[in-house]
């Protein structure tokens, strides 16, 4: 095989590698949306002395303003008035910050990592064991997506309003009724967040409409202000300014909640505080006179306010994963340096591409839409400055060094960092039924896999352009120092 033929063969191998990496990334993303095996409960701190639960009430009314960011919630007058009457809470909804898993936490008291319901978007096939709505007379009213509420066993099947007027009428009727538990699910804020982002006028208009609905629901409650009803108004996640949720960012994971109605003076004296969503499950169970679901990690509200434990429920890579990831990254970079020791051969394109994506598209997280599409076009276009640098560096290097040295120096670090990110997020465990969902590292793995795919395509095209160039004589085999062996006189017949 001639050197030119070997160069063409290497192009084919690079194209095959790009195809394999693209397929790997597709499978990696598809693995996000499966359920995981149940895990261990988090270690939430508790006081040494027992904390008294809140008193049982005759009726509990829960209003979920889906997708409402905490900053926008603080500008809603009815929401503010209710919080001033009772408790104004910051609630950590856990990770991932997705609607159905968050409701699963609220109704079962099990964190996402406990139950294994991590990033489920479809309704559950049957109500989960211990779900509060399935244990007493209850009713749900949903503006849309009734399959979410229907997953938790409400004794009266959820009603989804065909129009805003019908939804409001059903919600007011349910709140005014006698069932111990009524749940109202408002979704237009989340819809506006996905379409336009949390900084848009449409998002704020939807939030104002929901605040007006809340005022009407409070007015419909015959027991409100008379000790007969306790209210919990909250969100299940926020939205980024550009739109999106699912990640670990404070603006999507920390939401506002208000609790009002027949609360102990010791709690009312505190007024504000930070709790976890599992603690609100305990509040609901205590309010309804039920035992918390088996395995529920939530604490009495007084204990939760005394020990907020910020971020304690976020999953993190273990020490063994960190050691393995660091070893992979270091070994990959060492091999790359050995393959070509020229300073000009360092993979400058990789940090340029990464920074370019961050500056043009935003920080990669599960809240960002660019992480999910199988083709990854948004990340590729964002990385174009770095890919151009790669093309120029590879073309310059191929005039002086063999392709294997160029590929080793330019591609191996990216592959090593992608493999390290996969280790940290559990990507290599996905074939065994464990979704690769980890704050920071899942999104980083998606981006780095896409950069590897794009880099292989660029290197193959640059190499092919040299192979097809008339009169081009590829460099010979590199010596131990990483530089081409000295060439003898050119054979005119070659």
Q: Extract the tokens encoding 361.
A: 């598209």
For residue 24, the model assigns a pLDDT of 96
Q: Is 291 exposed, middle or buried (0-12, 13-18, 19+ CB in 10 A)?
A: exposed
For residue 431, the model assigns a pLDDT of 87
At residue 214, does pLDDT exceed 50? yes
Tens-digit pLDDT profile for residues 242-257 = 999 999 999 999 999 9
CB-based contacts of 466-469 (< 8 A; 24+ apart in sequence): 466/7, 466/395, 466/398, 467/4, 467/7, 467/8, 467/11
For residue 493, the model assigns a pLDDT of 37
Helices marked H in 254-376 — which ranges? 265-268, 277-288, 301-306, 319-339, 349-361
Lowest mean pLDDT of 57-61, 291-295, 376-380, name the range: 291-295
Tens-digit pLDDT profile for residues 286-313 = 999 999 888 898 999 988 998 999 999 9
> Mean pLDDT over all residues of the chain?
89
- Average pLDDT for 105-110: 96
At residue 53, does pLDDT exceed 80? no
Domains of the chain from N-terminus onward? 3-36+316-467 (no CATH), 59-299 (3.40.720.10)
Question: Are residues 62 and 238 in contact, defined by beta-carbon separation less than 8 angstroms?
Answer: no
For residue 1, the model assigns a pLDDT of 56
Tens-digit pLDDT profile for residues 152-174 = 999 987 776 668 999 999 999 99
- Average pLDDT for 342-357: 88
- Average pLDDT for 51-72: 92
CB proximity list for 432: less than 8 A, separation 6 or greater: none
At residue 15, does pLDDT exceed 50? yes
- Average pLDDT for 374-380: 94
Tens-digit pLDDT profile for residues 31-41 = 999 999 999 88
| For the ranges 47-56, 94-103, 394-403, the one whose mean pLDDT is highest | 94-103
Question: Are residues 304 and 53 in contact, defined by beta-carbon separation less than 8 angstroms?
Answer: no
Using pLDDT thresholds of 50, 70 and 90, give the confidence band for residue 404. Answer: confident
Using pLDDT thresholds of 50, 70 and 90, give the confidence band for residue 45. Answer: confident
At residue 225, does pLDDT exceed 70? no
- Pseudo-torsion of CA 311, 314, 320, 325, nearest 10°? -100
For residue 445, the model assigns a pLDDT of 98
Tens-digit pLDDT profile for residues 189-205 = 999 999 999 999 999 99
């Amino acid at each position: 095989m001639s050197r030119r033929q070997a160069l063409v063969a290497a192009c084919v191998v690079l194209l095959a590698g790009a195809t394999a990496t693209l397929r790997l990334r597709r499978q990696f993303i598809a693995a996000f949306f499966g359920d995981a095996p149940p895990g261990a409960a988090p270690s939430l701190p508790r006081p040494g002395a027992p904390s008294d639960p809140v008193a049982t009430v005759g009726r509990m009314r829960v209003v979920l303003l889906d997708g409402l960011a905490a900053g926008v919630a603080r500008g809603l007058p009815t929401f503010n008035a209710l919080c001033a009457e009772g408790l104004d809470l910051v609630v950590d909804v856990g990770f991932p910050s997705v609607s159905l898993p968050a409701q699963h936490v609220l109704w079962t008291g099990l964190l996402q990592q406990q139950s294994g319901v991590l990033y489920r978007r479809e309704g559950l096939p049957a109500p989960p064991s211990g779900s509060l709505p399935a244990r007493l007379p209850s009713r749900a009213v949903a503006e849309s997506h009734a399959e979410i509420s229907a997953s938790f066993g409400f004794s009266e099947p959820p009603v989804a309003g065909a129009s805003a007027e019908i939804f409001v009428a059903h919600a007011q009727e349910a709140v005014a009724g006698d069932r111990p538990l009524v749940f109202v699910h408002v979704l237009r804020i989340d819809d506006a967040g996905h379409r336009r982002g949390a900084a848009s006028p449409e998002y704020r208009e939807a939030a104002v409409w929901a605040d007006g609905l809340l005022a009407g629901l409070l007015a419909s409650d015959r027991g409100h202000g008379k000790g007969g009803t306790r209210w919990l108004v909250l969100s299940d996640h926020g939205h980024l300014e550009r739109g999106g949720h699912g990640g670990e960012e404070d603006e999507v994971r920390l939401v506002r909640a208000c609790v009002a109605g027949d609360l102990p003076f010791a709690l009312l004296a505190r007024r504000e505080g930070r709790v976890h969503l599992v603690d609100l499950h305990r509040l609901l169970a205590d309010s309804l006179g039920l035992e918390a679901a088996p395995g529920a990690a939530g604490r009495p509200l007084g204990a939760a306010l005394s020990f907020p434990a910020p971020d304690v429920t976020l999953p993190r890579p273990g020490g063994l994963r960190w050691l393995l990831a660091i070893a992979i990254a270091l070994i990959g970079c060492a091999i790359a340096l050995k393959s070509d020791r020229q300073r000009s051969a360092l993979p400058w394109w990789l940090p340029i591409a990464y920074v370019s994506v961050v500056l043009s598209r935003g920080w990669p997280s599960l809240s960002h839409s660019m992480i999910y599409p199988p083709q990854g076009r948004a990340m590729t276009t964002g990385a174009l400055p770095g890919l151009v640098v790669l093309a120029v560096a590879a073309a310059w290097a191929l005039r002086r060094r063999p392709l294997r040295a160029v590929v080793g120096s330019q591609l191996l670090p990216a592959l090593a960092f992608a493999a390290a990110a996969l280790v940290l997020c559990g990507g290599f465990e996905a074939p065994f039924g464990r979704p690769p969902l980890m704050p920071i590292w899942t999104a980083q793995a998606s981006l780095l896999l896409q950069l590897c795919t794009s880099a292989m395509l660029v290197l193959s095209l640059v190499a092919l352009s040299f192979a097809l160039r008339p009169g081009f004589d590829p460099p010979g085999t590199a010596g131990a120092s990483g530089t081409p062996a000295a060439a003898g006189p050119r054979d005119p017949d070659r």
